[in-house]
Amino acid sequence: MAVFKQLLNKIHLFSSRHESQTSDDEEEFKLPNMASLVIMISMNLLLQVSFFIVVSSSNKYAEYLGGNATFSGIIIGIPTAFAGLSLIPLTKYDKGVYKMPLHVSCFFAILGHVAYALAYRANFLYLILIGRCLNGVAFSMFMYCKRYCTDPRIVGIRRRTTLASWLVICQGMGMSLGPFLGGVLYNIGFSNSVFNGYTSPGWIMAGIYVVFWVLVTKYFEDIPQPPTMMELQSASDSNDIPMVVVEAKGRDAEASPNYSSAPTTRPPSPVDESFRAQLSLITRSQWGVIATMCWFAMLCFFILGSWEANLPVFGAAAGNLHWSPFAAGNFIALGGITCFPFLLANLLAARRIQDRKLLAVGTILGLAGLLIFVSILRTGTVNYGSLFACWWTVALGFNLATTVTLSLLSKQLPPEWNGRTSMAIQYSNYTGRVTGAIWGGSGVSVGMLNFVGLEIAMVGIGAVLFTTLWRDLKTKTG
């Protein structure tokens, strides 16, 4: 009988362990609602197209209205500065969910594209800038797309790099489709003071966002909101369970027998104490990893943004190229299209290869493209083929490197830090985009060797960071 009981206990223990293991596996591989996930990834694609659709013709549009190449770089990059500013109020009122930011993004995307299109009719240069600034508020959604794909409430730890790879695929598609559409629409022209080669990208994108907004309203399912302090207190009172929580913001704690009417210092809230406790648990090596990922998030978008802004200007100025906006758009798009199969392969590789190795491969590829560009500038062998080889390598390498910046941090830091790391990475992205676009627009005037030399130096700093912290960058695959 005793032997039989021991056997039953072992069976029960094995069953419990198996159920626990199954539960852990399900937690690591969980995914959000499919329709909502498709909407978020599609939103990322639309925002990428919105960002890049003006690249091929913004230089000519600005010149027509009295601007110059540097101003066109500002037009391309300035939205990300306003995206960063708009995140401050949005994150204060979003309650940790996503539907409200989606609605805000759709509204400002429509408004911004309409303003950009009306600048031609109004013959007012700065209306282009105003329109792009309004678009910038919509681009705040970039952060929410990243946060959604790494949110531990809905995405398992072994799915985050995979979903981040989808975002990078959309990034590559937007980088190809946007300039191509902008160039084609410019080439068609449409001899109309309202709808023409300069304004048609704005009108078409505004119409697309109207349709997409309807789909968001109908199909997007937000994640459940966490209970508020008042709701927790109410539940506690109904169950007669004492809770040590601070009352809702703006109210003092209730008086106690020892309470004195003399002024006292208000005790710190549990949220503040929790944040301090979490900060104390972050090790020096983890701070190094955070700094490294923020640097690469800024670096990749600085280089990609500078090349996208510079290619139309450099192509038009180069003696043997003489590119029109249509030719520049096709060139940029061709680089993105030919990178696309490799970005799809990265989607599969991300499930089996560590994030740090993906980062290293992307950085090495991108650096190779920069070094090749220096050599063809020095030897004077700039032509369509040699320039394309540089652009393709730069685009593929630094797009691959952007895959892991947030997903790696989300795997190393506590789940409660996902919102903060999303903000840190996104602000780094925005900094890279806006400064890169301005640097790219100024590339010809500052000298192309100086232009690419700064980028090589920045990659060198990144290489020192990730080689120093190589062991600390190790995380789970997937």
The secondary structure of 121-147 as a DSSP string is HHT-HHHHHHHHHHHHHHTTHHHHHHH
Average pLDDT over residues 184-205: 87
Q: Which amino acid is at 305?
A: G
Q: 90: pLDDT confidence band, cut at 50, 70 and 90?
A: very high
pLDDT of 3 > 80? The answer is: no
Residue 53: which of 105, 129, 113, 126 has the closest Cα? 113
DSSP structural state of residue 267: P
Q: What pLDDT does 189 receive? A: 76
Q: What pLDDT does 282 receive? A: 77
In the chain, what are the domain boundaries? 35-224+281-473
Higher pLDDT: 120 or 240? It is: 120
Task: Please give the C-alpha separations between residue 407 and each of 34, 282, 350, 476, 477, in angstroms, as whole numbers.
Answer: 20, 17, 11, 10, 10
Within 8 A by CB and 6+ apart from 90, the residues are 100, 101, 104, 140
**Which range has the worst mean pLDDT, 43-57, 120-134, 144-158, 264-278?**
264-278
Q: What pLDDT does 23 receive? A: 59
Residue 309: which of 58, 24, 19 has the closest Cα? 58
The tokens for 56 are 């091929």
pLDDT of 244 > 80? The answer is: no
Task: Please give the C-alpha separations between residue 159 and each of 33, 134, 473, in angstroms, as whole numbers.
Answer: 14, 33, 18
The tokens for 247 are 């009352």
The Cβ-side half-sphere exposure at 222, using a 13 Å CA radius, reads: 15
Task: Report yes or no: 125 and 66 within 8 Å, Cβ to Cβ.
Answer: yes
pTM: 0.75
Task: Report yes or no: 356 and 394 within 8 Å, Cβ to Cβ.
Answer: no
pLDDT of 28 > 50? The answer is: yes
Task: State percent of the chain over pLDDT 70.
Answer: 83
Q: 317: pLDDT confidence band, cut at 50, 70 and 90?
A: confident
Q: 254: pLDDT confidence band, cut at 50, 70 and 90?
A: very low
Query: What are the backbone dihedrals phi and psi of residue 285, each rounded to the nearest 5 degrees, phi first?
Result: -65, -35
Q: Which residues of 444-467 are buried (b: 16+ CB within 10 A; e: fewer)?
A: beeebeebbebbeebbeebeebbe
Degrees (nearest 5) of the Cα angle 303, 306, 308?
Answer: 105
**Is residue 318 classed exposed, middle or buried when 0-12, 13-18 and 19+ CB atoms within 10 A define those classes?**
middle
Task: Please give the C-alpha separations between residue 55 and each of 51, 89, 154, 225, 238, in angstroms, as whole numbers.
Answer: 8, 29, 35, 39, 60
Give residue for tokens 């030399």: 453
**Which range has the worst mean pLDDT, 234-248, 292-306, 397-411, 446-460?**
234-248
Task: State percent of the chain over pLDDT 90.
Answer: 40
pLDDT of 161 > 90? The answer is: no
Q: Which long-range contacts (CB under 8 A, 24 or more apart) does 208-211 make?
A: 208/46, 209/46, 209/106, 209/109, 209/110, 209/113, 210/110
Degrees (nearest 5) of the Cα angle 363, 38, 132?
Answer: 65
> What average pLDDT does the structure give for the chain?
83
Q: What pLDDT does 5 receive? A: 53
CATH number listed for the domain at residues 35-224+281-473: 1.20.1250.20
pLDDT digits (tens, 9 = 90+) for 342-390: 888 888 887 788 889 999 999 999 999 999 999 999 998 899 999 999 9
Q: 1: pLDDT confidence band, cut at 50, 70 and 90?
A: low
Q: What pLDDT does 475 receive? A: 83
Within 8 A by CB and 6+ apart from 439, the residues are 73, 302, 306, 309, 310, 451, 454
Average pLDDT over residues 325-350: 85
pLDDT of 98 > 90? The answer is: yes
